[in-house]
């Protein structure tokens, strides 16, 4: 009977414990001690189970005993529903230790498995994260290495060009200074410069032909195979339809081509002079004196095509290491050519002066010749400025191309594309024009160009009058200088010719100063739109060339003012005043061009009135007149005989031949920049609102 009651009480306790707790305590709790209850006290304890609950070891501290968990520690909703029940038979249920130990062991295994799963998952996530960090680090290291290599090639190419320029300056000067040096000993160095530049241009064109052939073969293969090549064709089209960067305006490129033709004529005369002088043993002529000018002619033709005609097709960024050294080699070639022509023309004029004074100190230089020698001597004063100006334009444009070369990284490609877009949008005088109609419809054309000459007639006819008077004065100058007569009488005519040219120059400078000031005042209310690149304002290629060429004007004006101030001749005051006004006009005109380059019409009223356009038209023609004066008269050192006496023949000839080619180019390029202002500043760019139709 007692046994049956005990079994019934045990079953009832299990049911009540299961209903209240669901199972034995889990979470790693193991039974460490079961309270031993007397049989006499069993009923008591069964009726009051809370007073003698079993104790369990704490999962974190095994030495600590804790009571079984309450019902609120379980998360199941069914357990929470039975939390109101009391476990009156807990002690009875735990009278069988085997079941409690088995349940606790099962919970321990589950908890251990959960722990290992959590540990494995966290470790795998950490390993994946470490792999991503490692890949990112390797990518960053590779990118930094490419940028470092790119910077290193940039530095090395610049040092290489500097070495070539120093050698190109040292060789011709050594030939003049030292009497122990054989003439034209440095022709091999210039032949190396020319051949290196030709090879680089040929390499770039060969790469272009190869890329076009590969893309054409791939397209034809996919067309014959009739496969889906949409992605490939899209990539090829993106490469072929890239946005090229135009270096300089159309008129600058046109002028550079004209100067290149003059340079080729100069080289052709040197090539022809070799055949006339090779029979003269005194002239020390060799075969290099013929090969070098011929190679220079070929390089001039290839360089014109490379820079000005086909620059949109050649992608120099794909071979950035070869391109850096190749472009720097071409830059050094143009600068060395500039120095060579400068030294040669100075040498020609010095020898001419010494021949007039029957001085044979520099007899090792041979320039005589029945046909070609006299032709070179008479034509070189007009042709060598073309050579210098052509070399200057090419060197500056090649330097701009060299700066645009970047390493093949994502950031550099994005920056290049963005700079190309900025150059296309903001630079004046580029590919095409936008013709805006009355109701705002836009049409872009790359082949049709229209010029609006409204509000320019007064300036045009005034400029024509000025240039006609300038040509008449130059004719009078050449008539006076070629007057045959006695030495004293000829000196008077030369003096009158110099004064006549100075008077014309003074009138030109005064009128130009007044015109520039009036144009500044009239164009001041117009909108100022400055181009920016990477957050920094860019001066632009044309403006850079203008500022560089202005250096020649400053050199000539300053040395002329100093020579006139310390000279006691009767006409020195006139020369001082003329050069002072020339300096003022140059400064004001440069400021006006740099400011007016970014001016645009603000509204339709300004677009209709075009304030200052007739003044800009007059400045264009007046600069052409000043350019003619510099080319035909002032490029000769003998134009100012008082300065020849004051500085000496060598010094003044060198000063003239350094400064006047830059001064000539300044007048030519000022005409180009003023025409760009005339063409672009008085157009109304979108968006704008019509005063009568505000929704246009």
Give me 393's structure tokens: 């334009």
The per-residue pLDDT for 16 is: 61
The per-residue pLDDT for 137 is: 81
Q: Provide the pLDDT confidence category of residue 639 given band limits of 50, 70 and 90.
A: confident
pLDDT higher than 80, residue 564 = yes
The per-residue pLDDT for 587 is: 96
Classify burial at 394, counting beta carbons within 10 Å of its beta carbon; exposed 0-12, middle 13-18, buried 19 or more. buried
**Domain extent listing, the chain:** 2-95, 149-173+185-209+252-406, 458-696
Taking residues 592-603, report their average pLDDT. Answer: 89
More confident call, 251 vs 398: 398
DSSP H or E segment with residue 655: helix 649-680
Q: What is the pLDDT of residues 24-66, one digit of tens each?
A: 444 444 444 444 444 444 444 444 444 445 555 555 555 555 5
Query: Percentage of the chain with pLDDT > 70?
Result: 63
The per-residue pLDDT for 456 is: 74
Distance (Å, whole) CA 561 – CA 76? 104
Taking residues 77-87, report their average pLDDT. Answer: 45
Q: CB of 451 within 8 A of CB of 679? A: yes
Q: Provide the pLDDT confidence category of residue 67 given band limits of 50, 70 and 90.
A: low
Q: What is the pLDDT of residues 507-563, one digit of tens each?
A: 999 999 999 999 999 999 888 887 665 555 567 788 888 999 999 999 999 999 999
Query: Percentage of the chain with pLDDT > 90?
Result: 22
Distance (Å, whole) CA 265 – CA 614? 37
Closest by Cα among 599, 593, 614, 613 to 670 = 593
Taking residues 603-617, report their average pLDDT. Answer: 87
Closest by Cα among 502, 505, 298, 261 to 383 = 261
Cα-Cα-Cα-Cα dihedral sign, residues 305, 308, 314, 315 = positive
Lowest mean pLDDT among 10-14, 135-139, 329-333, 417-421: 417-421
pLDDT higher than 90, residue 354 = no
Q: What is the pLDDT of residues 250-272, one digit of tens each?
A: 778 888 888 899 889 888 888 88
The per-residue pLDDT for 3 is: 63
The per-residue pLDDT for 556 is: 94
pLDDT higher than 90, residue 440 = no
Q: Provide the pLDDT confidence category of residue 73 given band limits of 50, 70 and 90.
A: very low
- The mean pLDDT value of the chain amounts to 74
Lowest mean pLDDT among 38-47, 191-200, 460-469, 588-597: 38-47
DSSP code string of 560-598: HHHHHHT---TTHHHHHHHHHHHHHHHHHHHHHHHHHTT
Give me 330's structure tokens: 């071409």
Cα-Cα-Cα-Cα dihedral sign, residues 402, 405, 406, 407 = negative
Task: Give SS3 for 328.
Answer: helix
pTM, two decimals, is: 0.69
Distance (Å, whole) CA 453 – CA 455? 7
Q: Provide the pLDDT confidence category of residue 172 given band limits of 50, 70 and 90.
A: confident
The per-residue pLDDT for 220 is: 77
Question: Which residue bears the tokens 């020195």?
Answer: 572
Cα-Cα-Cα-Cα dihedral sign, residues 595, 596, 599, 605 = positive
pLDDT higher than 80, residue 484 = no
Q: Which residues contact 252 (CB under 8 A, 6 or more apart)?
A: 393, 541, 542, 545, 669, 672
Cα-Cα-Cα-Cα dihedral sign, residues 254, 257, 262, 265 = negative
pLDDT higher than 70, residue 234 = no
Distance (Å, whole) CA 458 – CA 70? 105
Closest by Cα among 504, 533, 532 to 598 = 532
pLDDT higher than 90, residue 406 = no
Distance (Å, whole) CA 123 – CA 666? 72
The per-residue pLDDT for 140 is: 84
Cα-Cα-Cα-Cα dihedral sign, residues 403, 408, 409, 415 = positive
* CB burial readout 64-84, b (16+ within 10 A) else e: eeeebeebeebeeeebeebee
Q: What is the pLDDT of residues 652-663, one digit of tens each?
A: 988 998 899 899
Closest by Cα among 253, 257, 334, 254 to 296 = 334
The per-residue pLDDT for 333 is: 95
Taking residues 610-616, report their average pLDDT. Answer: 89
Q: Provide the pLDDT confidence category of residue 617 given band limits of 50, 70 and 90.
A: very high
Closest by Cα among 637, 660, 478, 521 to 582 = 660
């Amino acid at each position: 009977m007692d046994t049956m009651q005990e079994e019934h009480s045990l079953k009832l306790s299990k049911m009540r414990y299961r209903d209240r707790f669901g199972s034995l305590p889990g979470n790693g709790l193991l039974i460490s001690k079961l309270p031993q209850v007397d049989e006499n006290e069993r009923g008591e304890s069964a009726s009051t189970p809370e007073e003698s609950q079993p104790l369990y070891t704490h999962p974190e501290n095994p030495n600590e005993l804790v009571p079984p968990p309450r019902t609120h520690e379980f998360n199941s909703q069914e357990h929470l529903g039975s939390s109101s029940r009391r476990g009156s038979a807990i002690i009875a249920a735990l009278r069988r230790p085997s079941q409690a130990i088995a349940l606790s062991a099962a919970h321990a295994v589950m908890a251990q498995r959960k722990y290992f799963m959590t540990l494995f998952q966290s470790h795998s996530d950490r390993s994946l994260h470490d792999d991503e960090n490692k890949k990112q680090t390797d990518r960053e290291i590779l990118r930094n290495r490419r940028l470092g290599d790119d910077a290193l090639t940039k530095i090395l190419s610049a040092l290489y060009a500097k070495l070539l320029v120093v050698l190109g300056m040292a060789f011709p000067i050594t030939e003049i200074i030292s009497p122990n040096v054989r003439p034209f000993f440095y022709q091999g160095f210039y032949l190396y410069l020319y051949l290196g530049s030709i090879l680089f241009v040929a390499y770039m064109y060969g790469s272009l032909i190869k890329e076009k052939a590969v893309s054409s073969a791939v397209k034809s293969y996919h067309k014959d195979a009739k496969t889906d090549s949409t992605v490939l064709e899209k990539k090829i089209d993106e490469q072929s339809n890239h946005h090229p960067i135009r270096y300089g305006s159309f008129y600058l490129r046109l002028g550079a081509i004209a100067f290149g033709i003059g340079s080729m004529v100069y080289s052709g005369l040197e090539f022809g002079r070799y055949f006339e002088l090779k029979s003269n043993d005194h002239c020390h002529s060799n075969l290099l004196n013929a090969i070098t000018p011929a190679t220079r002619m070929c390089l001039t033709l290839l360089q014109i095509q490379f820079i000005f005609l086909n620059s949109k097709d050649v992608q120099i960024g794909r071979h950035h290491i070869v391109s850096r050294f190749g472009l720097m080699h071409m830059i050094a070639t143009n600068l060395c050519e500039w120095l060579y022509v400068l030294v040669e023309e100075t040498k020609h004029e010095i020898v001419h002066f010494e021949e007039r004074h029957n001085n044979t100190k520099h007899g090792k230089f041979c320039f005589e010749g029945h046909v070609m020698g006299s032709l070179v001597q008479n034509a070189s004063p007009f042709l060598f400025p073309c050579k210098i100006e052509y070399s200057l334009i090419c060197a500056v444009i090649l330097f701009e191309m060299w700066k645009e070369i970047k390493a093949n990284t994502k950031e550099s490609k994005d920056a290049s594309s963005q700079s190309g877009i900025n150059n296309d949008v903001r630079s004046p005088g580029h590919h095409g024009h936008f013709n805006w109609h009355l109701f705002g419809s836009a049409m872009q054309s790359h082949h049709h160009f229209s010029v609006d000459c409204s509000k320019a007639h007064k300036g045009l006819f005034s400029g024509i009058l000025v240039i006609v008077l300038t040509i008449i004065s130059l004719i009078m100058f050449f008539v006076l200088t070629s007057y045959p007569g006695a030495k004293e009488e000829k000196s008077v005519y030369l003096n009158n010719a110099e004064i006549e040219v100075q008077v014309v120059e003074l009138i030109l400078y005064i009128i130009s100063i007044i015109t520039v000031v009036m144009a500044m005042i009239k164009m001041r209310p117009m909108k100022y739109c400055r181009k920016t690149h990477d957050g920094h304002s860019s001066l632009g290629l044309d403006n850079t060339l203008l500022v560089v060429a202005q250096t020649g004007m400053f050199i000539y004006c300053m040395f002329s003012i100093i020579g006139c101030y310390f000279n006691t001749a009767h006409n020195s005051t006139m020369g001082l005043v003329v050069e002072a006004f020339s300096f003022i006009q140059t400064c004001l005109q440069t400021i006006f061009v740099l400011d007016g380059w970014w001016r645009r019409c603000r509204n339709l009223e300004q677009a209709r009135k075009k304030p200052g356009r007739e003044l800009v038209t007059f400045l264009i023609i007046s600069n052409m007149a000043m350019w003619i004066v510099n080319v035909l008269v002032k490029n000769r050192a003998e134009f100012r005989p008082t300065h020849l006496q004051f500085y000496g023949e060598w010094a003044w000839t060198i000063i003239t031949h350094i400064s006047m080619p830059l001064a000539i180019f300044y007048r030519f390029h000022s005409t180009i920049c003023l025409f760009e202002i005339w063409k672009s500043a008085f157009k109304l760019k979108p968006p704008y609102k019509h005063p009568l139709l505000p929704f246009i």
